[in-house]
Each structure stands twice: as C-alpha cells, then as structure tokens.
C-alpha cells in the first residue's frame, strides 16, 4: 500500500519511532495490535452499500497487514451492523468502546448515524473516518478535530449535479425525488443553492420527499410526471431506485433522471433495463478507480477475497477512508487522536488512494475527492452501471470555490442552503 507523505511526514515518523511511540500512552497499539471498528449497514437493508463498505474496509486492512501493519502494529477490524438506524449505530458504537476501545472508527452508511456517532468518538478521543456517509456538516459547519472525510460530501455531490445539468442545457423545469432523511434533504438543498447561482431563471415544479418506511412509488411518480419536469434529481439508490426505474420504463417516461445508480439498482431493475435518459452522480467511477495504481492493487485483492466479484462504487469509496487513515497514522507517527489532528493542521499532507496518487487532505480534514456526474451505461459484465466517456469528474475545489469554502469554514455562511441565502 503506497503512501505519498513527503519529507515532513518522514521526519515525524523517524521521531516517533526513536521515542518509543509503540506504547499505548503515546498513541501506539496494545500488544502489537491496533483496533479498528466499522459500523455499517452490514445486513444490506439499503442494498449493497453496507456489505460493500465492510468488505472493502477488511480488504484494505488485510493489505496493510500484509505489508507489515502500521507503526509495527497489526490492525484488527471489528464489524458492527447499524441496520440503517442511528440509534442502533450509537448503541453498537458505545458497546464496542466499552468492550475494547478502538484506535479508529470507520463508517457508517447513513449520514445521520455518522453525525450522531461523531459526538461520541470526539468525546472519547477516537478519530472517525467516513467513506460512505457524506453529510457536509461532518467536516464543514459542525466539524471537529476527529472528523475525517475521504470522499465527496452530499453538499459537493448536489452542487456538482446541478452544475452538470445547467451546463448541459437540457433542463429548465426541475423536479426532486428523495428520501426524507438528512441525506436527502441536504443534497437537494445543495442542488438548489447551485441552481440559484448558475441558472436563476430555472423553475422548481415539484419537490417530492418520501418516507423510507412507507413508499408508494407509483403514486409518487404520477405526481411528479403530472408537473412535466425536464429533469428529476435526488439521491435515490439501491432497491428504491430500481423500483422507480421499473415504473419509469412501464410508463415510458422520457424525463431525464439523475440519481445514484449502483449494483443494487441494476439487480432490482434487471440487467439491460436502465431507462433512457438515465444520468447519475456518484463518489466513485469504477472504470477510473480500477485503473489507478492503488485502485488496481485493491481491485485484485478484493476479487481474490470475494470469489472474483469486482468492487463497486461504494467499495472504492470505503477503501479510500482506510487508505486516508493509514497515511495519516504514518504522517503523525502515532494512532493518537490529537497527533492526527496536529499533522493535518500543519498542511501539505497527501496520500495515495483508489482515487489516484497524491490526493490532498484539506484543512477541514476532507480529501479533495471528486463527484462523478454524467450519463449512465448498463454493463452486465461488470455487474453494475458505470458512467459513459462524456461524464465529468468534479473535484471538491472545482465545485466549492475557495471563497465559498473559506466562508463556510469561518462560519460566515453555511452548507445548508435556504431561500434567504
């Protein structure tokens, strides 16, 4: 597992080893073993996200251990199921801390679980690295020293999607369809904010949230189509999106849709049955990820451990979180919560990730990752959709301009868009 660290990092590492950093008191591991915990939707209630995330996390940790571990320590992963319930996520986290306090926590799947868990991990002095849950509050408005984001946020994804559609010239009348949870509301708010900046004469003709536990997509889609939007955006994914696509096909709707198509979507709707005019936004592009140096290594290891199954978008995103953590531990020469934060604040840190070599770790503890936006292609050989060649990879700094970024970090504005902004 290669890591770009630079002379500053190597100096830190040398100092750490010479001062006996391996003791628990100085941020090392106990009995030669560092404890890692992932809290995720392992039961797969939202499709492949949780299973892909936990499997990818284990795969990268196995690669780390194969290369000798971290700071002379092997890494042991414990996996807990959040069951798409923030209360369960918090309960499992507390139980794990009481049993064997981890050096790091990964996950979870839901942004609301991530925000709830972060209150506990920060109070306990445990860094939390997210490779799935992507609410921007985690590293922007409500950031804490122990919060790390290895992927794009919902705020970035929403802005990237809006920029792409505005530049395409395909949309004047917009509709929204999204689950009525933190993730759904925030990504649509981000989209609205970018739309107000880039296409002020755009019309929002329908805004349709839905309850995850009580959904009648037939009636919902009828309500949307009756308003005749040009484009419909939201963060549907997995089986829910598969159900929507089936109805879209049945009714022969030609409205452009932009959601989060993934492996579970393809399984739900059936190979070769993605509707026409299907677009997507995602935090990873499987074609690109599999071709990066670290991505190739991860892909081969993942396939070897999973009967030849290729990693999907969620697996690549989750892998980046572990790679980010490992690089920061090496940079700090310690597993310690405060040591990692100190290393990050000094700036200049990069790491090799499935996203590519030399990914920057920004001042808010977020990797400068990209959102991939564009037309979606149905590839049964891969087992999941991917983006066509005219899609765009939009980096965080491309989507969140420096003045806006600085304003959010200074508290002068917020990632939560309102009509007053």
- Residues 324 and 367: beta-carbon distance below 8 Å: yes
Band of residue 84 on the pLDDT scale cut at 50, 70, 90? confident
Render pLDDT for 279-296 as a digit per residue (tens, 0 to 9).
999 988 888 899 999 999
How far is 242 from 272, CA to CA, in rounded Å? 12
The Cα angle at residue 312 between residues 311 and 316, in degrees rounded to 5: 75
Residues 30, 36 contacting (CB under 8 angstroms): no
Whether pLDDT at 83 is above 60: yes
Q: What's the pLDDT band for 77 if we cut at 50, 70, 90?
A: very high
Q: Distance between CA atoms of 409 and 413, rounded to whole angstroms? A: 8
The contacts of residue 168 (CB under 8 Å, 6+ apart) are none
Residue 97: left if φ>0, alpha if ψ -120 to 50, beta else—which one?
Answer: alpha
Cα 187–190–193 angle (5° rounding)?
155
Average pLDDT of the chain, as a whole number: 89
| Cα–Cα distance, 247 to 284 (Å, whole number) | 27
**For position 418, what pLDDT does the model report?**
55
pLDDT band, residue 17 (cuts 50/70/90): very low
């Amino acid at each position: 597992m290669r890591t770009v660290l630079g002379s500053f990092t190597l100096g830190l590492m040398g100092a750490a080893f010479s001062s006996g950093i391996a003791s628990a008191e100085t941020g090392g591991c106990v009995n030669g073993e560092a404890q890692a915990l992932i809290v995720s939707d392992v039961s797969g209630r939202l499709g492949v996200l949780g299973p892909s995330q936990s499997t990818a996390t284990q795969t990268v940790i196995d690669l780390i251990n194969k290369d000798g571990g971290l700071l002379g320590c092997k890494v042991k992963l414990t996996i807990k199921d959040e069951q798409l319930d923030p209360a369960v996520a918090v309960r499992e986290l507390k139980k794990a801390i009481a049993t064997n306090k981890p050096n790091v926590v990964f996950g979870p799947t839901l942004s609301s679980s991530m925000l709830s868990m972060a209150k506990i991990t920060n109070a306990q002095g445990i860094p939390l690295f997210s490779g799935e849950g992507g609410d921007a509050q985690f590293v922007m408005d409500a950031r804490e020293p122990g919060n790390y984001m290895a992927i794009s946020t919902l705020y970035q994804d929403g802005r990237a999607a809006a920029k792409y559609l505005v530049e395409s010239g395909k949309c004047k009348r917009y509709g929204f369809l999204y689950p009525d949870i933190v993730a759904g509301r925030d990504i649509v708010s981000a989209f609205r904010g970018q739309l107000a900046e880039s296409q002020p004469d755009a019309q929002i003709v329908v805004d349709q949230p839905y309850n995850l536990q009580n959904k009648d997509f037939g009636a919902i889609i009828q309500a949307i189509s009756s308003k005749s939007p040009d484009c419909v955006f939201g963060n549907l994914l997995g089986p829910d999106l598969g159900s929507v696509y089936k109805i879209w096909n049945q009714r022969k709707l030609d409205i452009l849709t932009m959601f989060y198509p993934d492996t579970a979507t393809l399984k739900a709707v059936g190979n070769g049955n993605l509707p026409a005019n299907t677009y997507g936004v995602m935090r990873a592009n499987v074609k690109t990820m599999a071709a990066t140096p670290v991505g190739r290594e991860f892909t081969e290891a993942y396939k070897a451990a999973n009967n030849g199954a290729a990693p999907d978008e969620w697996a690549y995103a989750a892998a980046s979180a572990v790679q980010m953590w490992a690089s920061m531990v090496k940079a700090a020469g310690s597993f310690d919560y405060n040591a990692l934060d100190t290393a990050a604040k000094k700036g200049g840190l990069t790491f090799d990730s499935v996203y590519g070599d030399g990914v920057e770790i920004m001042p808010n503890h977020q990797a400068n990752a990209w959102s991939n936006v564009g037309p979606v292609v149905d590839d049964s050989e891969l087992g999941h959709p991917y983006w066509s060649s005219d899609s765009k990879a939009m980096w965080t700094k491309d989507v969140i301009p420096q003045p806006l970024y600085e304003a959010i970090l200074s508290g002068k504005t917020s990632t939560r868009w309102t009509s007053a902004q």
